[in-house]
Structure 1
């Protein structure tokens, strides 16, 4: 059994963007700002450099073993079926839990906007995404590209509208917690930028994987770094870093400064648009890991 190589650079990058640009940045940005202050942008650059180093390791393995399953497949080949089984089940379970969490978050945010039942919305989302993937990863990839384009446009608008309201005096002091604060924020940034590994999970469906996978991983991390840097620049420029650090909804708080009461609503809409792309990326990871384990006899074929 094998999979069709239908995904090019555009689809692969969109798949990874959907996994990375989820609700995490809208929450974790406040945590990172609370640790580093305005220098949080430097912390995210450090985090991106670490992501690229790790991404290059994944890309090297993906080029050697361009098969479905990602990390599970590499461990199974190099360390044997026992370790492969442990990693495969752990990986599969982690993505399963993550997709459930994301879908529930989608239901809650949609409920806050429209009053739709949260649980029904979450289940409906999973069913719709399941149907899209049954129709084929190429069709699913097209939908993913569309969602990601909307996300990028909205984040760029956030930067464009907020840029002219930035108060540069809020960037002083630039490093209120010193280098230790930057390193602590870099760890949070690293966690918020994880998700590009979904690309290697679908390695068996990549056209020319030796070029597509490394190119997609590096371009994806750099693109997300630019988007996050813009969001952090505006956020720390319109609200005190201490306020952002103590807020449960930092991006909504920042948007309220230059968009008024419509700001939090806009942020909720962005999250509702972003979460289906995140859930879709996780579902692809789940199914490809299960497929690889089934092919190797660790799950029913």
Structure 2
């Protein structure tokens, strides 16, 4: 019997998932981009990436509503390009969603370590995995309702941050040494703009994960477009506001390359002992928790969909008594916890753990974005009669912009992160070898009528 997920989620739940998946990117990670591009260079990078994501979401929504499937990009690419296309998109998405949580878990550990210096951040990160895996196992509606609550609190907290630091904003602070440590634009500044791409993507990474809750959405053809479009608008406004106001609060160079730039920026304005600062440190955890919890939901649905289709061991598609993919949830957690303790390998790449996990997740995301846009073009050509309740506006220009910027990002990332690109490629090759050795497993998998075009 085919394992099926139960539709229980409304538009507001899906908005909470879409924004919650991403919102930790407003709290940390992006400031690493200042270290390589400067504030002005990174502002240019962010504008480019915001353009890509806006075009991507307006286009991706057509796929999500036409094929509401737990596999998300895996499902669209498999329908457009067959089993190998499904493998490429599915594994890239899985890498994105499995490697993003360790970076967020380490940030949670760093926040807690500020309040409890005796607490090892790594053990705190593992504890976060255990708590939020358990919550996801207990039921998707409970998990999504919790996600919505912490997401709303996280958005409110970012607005409070902007309101508190705004009086201390100075444009002279923001533009000082704004081009990769220089006051002037140059060739090295342009290089920094491209080197900072992974950290600008971190502002928006994983918003597409709401597609993986599509099977659990009520009336997905109506609710998903509303959730996605309001979600990307929410995130673009927050990203620009947080970055500009933090950069103008004081010496921005003190904020680049740390896991808690917002509390440190607020400290420049209100001082060390302000009640606002203590509130930000504690409530700031909600932003990290929202993304961490949401991405666990996302990776578990990707494991589930790939296993159900025979691309991964079929046992990962089993559902618990709560009708949640508990084995898939645990599998991603085991990999994430192993990554947290992989400092030796990461140090060989000359990067810190957080920056390396972010970059690896972004590699998966960019490959998936490319496959998704190619799938959109191919399905428009091959299946003109596919039922589409939503059409990408400005087709073919808008999806072409998303595709072109995605390809540019991939080239730049390979150039500036070659060793991590090799590791990513090796993971994809290993997945392909497993894929070739397990053809019988896919033959025995239940036929997925939605994927195979028999609507």
For this structure pair, what is the TM-score category when the shorter chain's length is used for normalisation?
0.7 to 0.9
- Residue 113 of structure 1 pairs with residue 124 of structure 2: no
Cα distance, 1:33 vs structure 2: 8.0
CA distance in 1, matches of 2:99, 2:258: 26
**Alpha carbons 1:50, 1:190 under 8 Å: kept:** no
Match of 1:214 among 221, 225, 231: 225
Give the 3 Å change call, closer, same or farther, for CA 182–60 of structure 1 in structure 2. farther
Aligned length: 301
CA distance in 2, matches of 1:246, 1:295: 40
Give the 3 Å change call, closer, same or farther, for CA 73–288 of structure 1 in structure 2. same
Equivalent residue number for residue 29 of structure 2 = 27
CA distance in 2, matches of 1:216, 1:243: 36
Give the 3 Å change call, closer, same or farther, for CA 44–139 of structure 1 in structure 2. same
**Alpha carbons 1:235, 1:254 under 8 Å: kept:** yes
Alignment of 1:196-235 (within 5 A): 196-235=207-246
Cα distance, 1:40 vs structure 2: 5.4
- Residue 123 of structure 1 pairs with residue 138 of structure 2: no
Q: What is the Cα-based RMSD across aligned positions, in Å?
A: 3.0
- Residue 280 of structure 1 pairs with residue 293 of structure 2: yes
Cα distance, 1:138 vs structure 2: 1.1
CA distance in 2, matches of 1:92, 1:34: 28
Equivalent residue number for residue 272 of structure 2 = 261
Cα distance, 1:156 vs structure 2: 1.0
- Residue 291 of structure 1 pairs with residue 304 of structure 2: yes
**Alpha carbons 2:29, 2:202 under 8 Å: kept:** no
- Residue 157 of structure 1 pairs with residue 170 of structure 2: no
Cα distance, 1:244 vs structure 2: 4.7
CA distance in 1, matches of 2:141, 2:155: 21
CA distance in 2, matches of 1:57, 1:89: 21
Cα distance, 1:199 vs structure 2: 0.8
Normalising by structure 2, we get a TM-score of 0.58
Tell me which of the two structures has the higher relative contact order, counting C-alpha pairs closer than 8 angstroms and 6 or more residues apart.
Answer: 1
Alignment of 1:30-179 (within 5 A): 31-32=33-34, 35=37, 37=39, 44-114=46-116, 115-170=118-173, 176-178=183-185
Q: Deviations over 1:31-60 (max 9, x none)?
A: 248635358556544432220111122211
Equivalent residue number for residue 7 of structure 1 = 9
Instruction: List alignment gaps of at least 5 residues for structure 2.
Output: 318-455
Instruction: List alignment gaps of at least 5 residues for structure 1.
Output: none
Equivalent residue number for residue 389 of structure 2 = none
**Alpha carbons 1:107, 1:122 under 8 Å: kept:** yes
